[in-house]
A and B are shown apart, each in its own frame.
Chain A
Amino acid sequence: MEAFGLLVHGFAVLLTWKTLLLMMVGLVLGIFVGVLPGLGGPNGVAILLPLTFTMDPTSAIVMLSCIYWGALFGGAITSILFNIPGEAWSVATTFDGYPMAQQGRAAEALTAAFTSSFIGSLVAVLLITFLAPLISSFALKFGPPEFFAVYLLTFCSFVGLGREAKHKTLISMSLGLLLAGIGMDTVSGQLRMTFGSSELLRGINFLVAVIGLFGISEILLTMEERLALRGHAASISLRVVLKVWRDLPKYWVTLLRSSFIGCWLGITPGGAIAASFMGYNLAKRFSKDPESFGKGRIEGVFAPETAAHASGTSALLPMLALGIPGSGTAAILLGGLMVWGLNPGPLLFVEHKDFVWGLIASMYLGNVVGLVLVLTTVPIFASILRVPFAAVAPMIVVSCAIGAYAIQNAMFDIWLMLGFGVVGYVFKKIGIPLAPFTLALVLGNRAEDAFRLSMIGSGGDVKVFWSNGLVGSITTLAFLLLFWPLIDKAFGSVGRLMRPAKA
Chain B
Amino acid sequence: MSDSEIEIVVEDPTAPEPDSPAVTDTRVVDITVSLLLMALAVTLGYDNWRTGIAWDSTGPQSGYFPFYLSVILAGASLYGLVAALLSRREASETFVTRAQLRRVMAVFVPTLLFCLAVQFLGLYVASFLLIAAFMRMVGRIALWKSLLTAFLFTAVMFVTFDIAFDVIMPKGPLEAAFGY
Contact = CB atoms under 8 A, between A and B. Distances in A.
Interface of A: 50-51, 53-54, 81-82, 101-107, 167-168, 170-171, 174-175, 177-178, 181, 185, 187-188, 190, 192-193, 195, 216, 219-220, 223-224, 226-234, 382-383, 385-386, 388-391, 393-395, 397-399, 401-402, 405-406, 409, 411, 414-415, 418, 421-422, 425-427, 429-430, 432, 448, 451-452, 454-456, 459-460
Interface string B50-91: 011001011111110110011011001101100100000000
Given A234-B3, A391-B139, A418-B115, A406 B76 contact: no
A61 to B, nearest CB: 16
B144 interface: no
A382 B115 contact: no
B135 A390 contact: yes
B58 A455 contact: yes
Contact of A192 (B4, B11, B63, B73): B63
A460 B103 contact: no
Nearest to B14: A390
Contacts of A193: 44, 47-48, 66
A171 B77 contact: yes
A398 B2 contact: no
Interface string B142-153: 000000010001
A233 B7 contact: yes
A232 B6 contact: yes
24 contacts: A53-B165, A82-B8, A104-B3, A167-B79, A174-B73, A181-B65, A181-B69, A190-B51, A190-B52, A220-B108, A230-B10, A386-B10, A390-B140, A390-B141, A391-B141, A394-B127, A397-B114, A402-B169, A406-B169, A414-B115, A429-B29, A429-B95, A430-B95, A452-B58
Contact of A385 (B10, B58, B112): B10
Given A103-B4, A168-B80, A181-B69, A226 B48 contact: no
A224 B161 contact: no
Given A190-B52, A228-B9, A414-B115, 14 more contacts: A82-B8, A106-B3, A174-B73, A178-B66, A178-B70, A219-B107, A230-B10, A390-B139, A393-B138, A397-B114, A398-B127, A401-B127, A405-B169, A429-B29
B37 interface: yes
A170 to B, nearest CB: 4
Nearest to A221: B104
Interface of B: 1-12, 15-16, 18, 26, 29-30, 33, 37, 40, 44, 47-48, 51-52, 55, 57-63, 65-66, 69-70, 72-73, 76-77, 79-80, 83, 95-96, 100, 103-104, 106-108, 110-112, 114-115, 118-119, 123, 127, 130-131, 134-135, 138-141, 149, 153-154, 157, 160-161, 165-170
B161 A406 contact: yes
Nearest to B83: A167
B138 A390 contact: yes
B69 A411 contact: no
Q: Which of B18, B96, B138 counts the most chain A CB atoms within 10 A?
A: B138
B85 to A, nearest CB: 14
Given A171-B73, A411-B170, A459-B57, A386 B8 contact: yes
B47 A227 contact: no
B168 to A, nearest CB: 7
Q: Which 4 A-B pairs have the closest CB atoms?
A: A390-B139, A455-B59, A233-B7, A104-B4
A224 B96 contact: yes
A102 B135 CA distance: 32
Contact of A402 (B29, B40, B59, B123): B123
B8 A105 contact: no
A456 B58 contact: yes
A371 to B, nearest CB: 21
Contacts of A459: 57
Given A175-B37, A401-B114, A414-B115, A54 B73 contact: no
Given A223-B103, A230-B6, A232-B4, A394 B73 contact: no
Contact of A53 (B58, B107, B167): B167
A178 B73 contact: yes
B157 A398 contact: yes
Contacts of A228: 9-12, 15
B73 A188 contact: no
A53 B162 CA distance: 12
B45 to A, nearest CB: 9
Contacts of A104: 1-4
A460 B168 contact: no
A449 B65 CA distance: 10
A478 B127 CA distance: 47
A62 to B, nearest CB: 16
Given A104-B2, A394-B131, A405-B169, A430 B29 contact: yes
A391 B135 contact: yes
Given A167-B80, A459-B57, A174 B10 contact: no
A227 B12 contact: yes
Given A181-B66, A231-B8, A406-B161, A101 B73 contact: no
A300 B3 CA distance: 20
A397 to B, nearest CB: 5
